[in-house]
Amino acid sequence: MSHLLQSTFIPTTPTTLRRRSVFPTTHLRKTHVVESKIREIFMPALSSTMTEGKIISWMKTEGDKLAKGESVVVVESDKADMDVESFYDGYLASIIVPEGSSAPVGSPIALLAESEDEISLAKSKTPTPTSTSTPAAAAAVTEEVSTVAAAVTVTSSSDAGPVKMASSIHPASEGGKRVVASPYAKKLAKELGLDLRGVVGSGPNGRIVAKDVEAAAGSAPIGVAAAAKPSGGAPVAPAVELGTTVPFSTMQNAVSRNMVESLAVPTFRVGYTITTNALDALYKKVKSKGVTMTALLAKATALALVKHPVVNSSCRDGKSFTYNSSINIAVAVAIDGGLITPVLQDADKVDLYSLSRKWKELVDKARAKQLQPHEYTTGTFTLSNLGMFGVDRFDAILPPGTGAIMAVGASQPTLVGTKDGQIGMKNQMQVNVTADHRVIYGADLAAFLQTLAQIIEDPKDLTL
């Protein structure tokens, strides 16, 4: 999708005062003052909540020629990494904000010269990173920029095939001198100890993406990729230096702001115990077809919300609330360095199998930090599931702008009393819903949870 990149022109010829001519006007010769076009490239706003961005990598170096539509820089927003593509031809004259540094939205990050002759002139006008323009001043003129998330697909190792030696060259690779890869592909290669110079990319214009690294690692000689993996099946915690202070990442800053904002909302919680024997049996039947438990829970929740639209509503201004026209289920996913909530849109209308495929795609993109804003900002109801870790119950914090979030615990065998007075064994899970009490009341949540329990305990409608 396209985003606007704010830019201004820097005039290179000073304005001069004209003298009154002593000659008749018929003898005047017209002169044209030509101004060089040096554009300030500003940090774009890649989401509605983004206040600053971090430069992950420059895909071009100073002096490189830019063609319209080429990727220039990878920017980390509050939730994703995005490629920024220029809509202008020219030359990347000067980089103001280097890789690894952050800049506020609207501040200059580079200068773009129209011709090669103007590069040195642009360099002389390069401001220091501290003397950045304000967003208000940057709003005068806009330069369009397209942000395209690299397509990330996952294939099985059996379909990966042999590793190809680099033959296709990305336009930004300077004839093969530079490795052009997605941020996640670079990180994955570093973890696996894999040299990207020997891998061919399957992404746009030959860019290396995660699946290329996975394929290369699967076919690499023993001791190259495998040596980077610790022995044993237990996960190894990342090494940290105790006693150090680590600044928040861009994503952690966004999470922090959202959590503090959520404290201003008056919330309450309601818990419910649901028997899952029928749902577990259904899952065993459809698991081989690619259906995930997350998709089953999202589908069940969406069908329950159809009957209780107030639980799917939201209050943003404290004076009114909106009955949302779509049921978009956001599901919390832990990723490296933070948390994100990919959204299953229209979950009540999409069939279970398509929902599962979509969820797998969203998770892959989330872990590659390639989600587009509409894929994580449009949720109307949120699920947070820690059941896979054996957690039996917990409370979740309400995301700002939504009406409710449901925390799902593990399904566990439990001794229960039957209606005929006998004792039996059933699988049960605990769910706790946190809701905005300005809009949703206790009776609303109780009725919603009763409907949800009925759907899960008799899940025949989930596969329709």
Catalytic residues: 437
Separation between Cα atoms, residue 116 and residue 370, nearest integer Å: 33
- What is the Cα–Cα distance from 293 to 282, expressed in whole angstroms? 10
Q: How far apart are CA 127 and CA 355, in angstroms?
A: 49
CA 47 remoteness from chain centre: 10
Do residues 355 and 293 make contact, with C-beta atoms less than 8 angstroms apart?
no
Angle of helix 442-457 versus helix 293-307 axis, rounded to 10:
130
Residue 265's contacts (CB-CB under 8 Å, 6 or more residues apart) are 398, 400, 436, 438
Instruction: Identify how many contiguous H helices and E strands the chain contains and give both numbers.
Output: 10, 19
90, 66 Cβ separation under 8 angstroms: yes
Instruction: Look at phi and psi of residue 318 and say left if phi exceeds 0, alpha if psi is from -120 to 50, else beta.
Output: left
> What amino acid is encoded at 74 in this protein?
V
Nearest CA-CA partner of 119 in 100, 94, 136, 144? 94
Q: How far apart are CA 57 and CA 148, in angstroms?
A: 15
Nearest Cα to Cα of residue 18 among 39, 35, 33? 33
Across 235-335, the runs of DSSP E, i.e. the strands, are 267-275, 329-331, 333-335
The burial of 335, by beta-carbon neighbours within 10 Å (0-12 exposed, 13-18 middle, 19 or more buried), is given as: middle
Q: Which of 68, 75, 73, 7 is nearest to 46 (CA)?
A: 75
Cα 425 to Cα 428: distance, rounded to the nearest angstrom: 9
Helix (H) or strand (E) holding 26: none
How far is the C-alpha of 4 from the C-alpha of 1, rounded, in Å? 10
Which DSSP category does 459 fall into? G
Closest CA to 69 of 88, 52, 41, 54: 88
CB atoms within 10 A of CB 264: 8
Contact by Cβ (8 Å): 396, 306? no
Across 207-263, the runs of DSSP E, i.e. the strands, are none
DSSP state of 460: G
